[in-house]
Every structure is written in C-alpha cells, then in structure tokens.
Amino acid sequence: MHITHDIFRFIRQNNRLSQRNMATRLGISHSYVSAIEVGARPVSRRISDKVVDEFGITQQYIDIARQFMGATRRRRR
C-alpha cells in the first residue's frame, strides 16, 4: 500500500500532529514532512511503510480519507 502526499497530510492532521511531531514519530526531518505535504518530494516506499506501521493505516482508511477529502473539496467550490 502506498501513501500519497494528500493522504500523508490527512493522516497527520487527523492525528492532530504538528509537522514536527509527525517527523519525530517517523524519524525524518520536519522540512521533509513539509516538502512531502506540498508535493515537492514524493512519499518514498520507506516513508509510506513507516506511516502504515506507525498509524495502523489500512486500505479502508485510505479509501474513506479519499472520500472525505473529495467531499471537502466539493464543498469549498
């Protein structure tokens, strides 16, 4: 299972973590978290696997997150 940058950000926000706290939990720099979230850096397989393990992410969680994000985007228009 691979995490995209928008799902990465959703997971962080859903867990009410700052970029710094997310970085600490994943063992990466906060600047790397920021770069991932804006799409400047890809979510590597290693980071994606860490996110899945650290937060217990399932495919069902990702599917629901995508539905939620789609509904939120449609309401903003």
Residue 35 belongs to a domain with what CATH number? 1.10.260.40
Q: Report the pLDDT value the prediction gives residue 38, as an integer from 0 to 100.
A: 96
Q: How many domains does the chain have?
A: 1
CB–CB of 41/32 below 8 Å?
A: yes
Output the tens digit of pLDDT for each of the chain's 77 residues.
889 999 999 999 999 999 999 999 999 999 999 999 999 999 999 999 999 999 999 999 999 999 988 866 655 55
Q: Report the pLDDT value the prediction gives residue 75, as an integer from 0 to 100.
A: 56
Q: Report the pLDDT value the prediction gives residue 1, as an integer from 0 to 100.
A: 83
Distances (CA, A) of 38 to 3, 5, 19, 33, 60: 14, 7, 12, 9, 24
Q: Looking up tokens 């928008």, which residue turns up?
A: 6
Q: Report the pLDDT value the prediction gives residue 11, as an integer from 0 to 100.
A: 97
Domain of residue 37 covers 5-76
